[in-house]
Amino acid sequence: MLTIAGLPLLMMPVVLCLLPIPAFADALVDNVNGITLDKDGRVIHFTGLLLTPDGKVSKLMKSGDKRPEKLDWRADMKGRVLLPGMIDAHGHVTELGFRALELDLSDTHSLAEAQAAIAAYAKANPERKWLLGGGWNQESWGLGRFPTAAELDMAVPDRPVWLSRADGHASWGNTAALTAAGVTVRSVSPPGGRIEKTGTRPSGVFVDAAQALVQKVVPAPLAKDRNAAFLKAQSILLGYGVTAVADMGTSLDDWMTYRRMGDVGALRVRIMSYGMGVDTAVQIGGTGPTPWLYNDRLRLNGVKLYADGALGSRGAWLKQPYADAPGQSGAGFMSDDVIRNLMSRAAMDNFQIAVHAIGDRANAQVLDAIDEMSDTYKGDRRWRIEHAQIVDPVDLPRLGKHGVIASMQPTHETSDRVMAEARLGPARLAGAYAWNSVLKNGGQLAFGSDFPVERPDPWAGWAAAFTRQGADGQPFGGWRPEERVTREQAWWAFTGGAAYAGFAEDKFGRLAPGQRADFIVVDRDPTLASPTELRATRVEETWVGGEKVWERK
Q: Which member of 106, 215, 290, 320 binds a copy of itself (CB under 8 A)? A: 290
The answer to whether residues 243 and 544 touch, using CB atoms and an 8 Å cutoff, is yes
Query: Residue 113, interface with a copy of itself (CB under 8 A)?
Result: no
The whole-angstrom separation of Cα 206 and Cα 197 is: 9
The whole-angstrom separation of Cα 465 and Cα 461 is: 6
The answer to whether residues 484 and 467 touch, using CB atoms and an 8 Å cutoff, is yes
Query: Residue 265, interface with a copy of itself (CB under 8 A)?
Result: yes
**Before 475, cis peptide (omega within 30)?**
yes
DSSP symbol at 204: E
Query: Residue 259, interface with a copy of itself (CB under 8 A)?
Result: yes
In DSSP terms, which residues pair with 446 in a beta bridge? 407
Query: Residue 252, interface with a copy of itself (CB under 8 A)?
Result: yes
Query: Residue 73, interface with a copy of itself (CB under 8 A)?
Result: yes
For a copy of itself, the binding residues in 202-241 under the rule CB under 8 A are: 223-224, 226-227, 231
Query: Residue 286, interface with a copy of itself (CB under 8 A)?
Result: yes
| Smallest separation (angstroms) from a copy of itself to the CB of 198 | 39
The whole-angstrom separation of Cα 71 and Cα 226 is: 40
Q: Which member of 157, 219, 291, 477 binds a copy of itself (CB under 8 A)? A: 291
3-state secondary structure 515-543: CECCEEEECCCCCCCCHHHHHCCCEEEEE
In 269-406, which residue ranges form alpha helices assigned H by DSSP? 277-285, 336-348, 360-373, 397-401
Sole window of 301-309, 317-325, 423-431, 545-553 interacting with a copy of itself (rule: CB under 8 A): 545-553
Sole window of 116-124, 210-218, 254-262, 399-407 interacting with a copy of itself (rule: CB under 8 A): 254-262
Q: Of all helices (H) and strands (E), which one includes residue 500? A: helix 496-500
Query: Residue 279, interface with a copy of itself (CB under 8 A)?
Result: no
Interface pattern 491-530 for a copy of itself (x via CB under 8 A): ----------------------------------------
Q: Total residues contacting a copy of itself (rule CB under 8 A)?
A: 58
For a copy of itself, the binding residues in 24-63 under the rule CB under 8 A are: 24, 53-54
The whole-angstrom separation of Cα 214 and Cα 290 is: 34
Sole window of 130-138, 189-197, 249-257, 406-414 interacting with a copy of itself (rule: CB under 8 A): 249-257
Query: Residue 70, interface with a copy of itself (CB under 8 A)?
Result: no
The whole-angstrom separation of Cα 89 and Cα 248 is: 9
| Smallest separation (angstroms) from a copy of itself to the CB of 257 | 7
DSSP 360-395: HHHHHHHHHHHHHHTTTS-SS---EEEE--B--GGG
Sign of the Cα torsion 223, 303, 99, 114 reads positive
| Smallest separation (angstroms) from a copy of itself to the CB of 363 | 31
The answer to whether residues 159 and 178 touch, using CB atoms and an 8 Å cutoff, is no
Query: Residue 17, interface with a copy of itself (CB under 8 A)?
Result: no
| Smallest separation (angstroms) from a copy of itself to the CB of 22 | 3
Query: Residue 266, interface with a copy of itself (CB under 8 A)?
Result: yes
Sole window of 308-316, 321-329, 499-507, 542-550 interacting with a copy of itself (rule: CB under 8 A): 542-550
| Smallest separation (angstroms) from a copy of itself to the CB of 80 | 11
Query: Residue 263, interface with a copy of itself (CB under 8 A)?
Result: yes
- Kindly report the number of other CB atoms within 10 A of residue 368's CB atom: 15
DSSP symbol at 211: G
Positions that interact with a copy of itself (CB under 8 A): 1-7, 9-16, 19-20, 22, 24, 53-54, 72-78, 223-224, 226-227, 231, 252-253, 256-257, 259-260, 263-266, 268, 282-287, 290-291, 293, 547-551
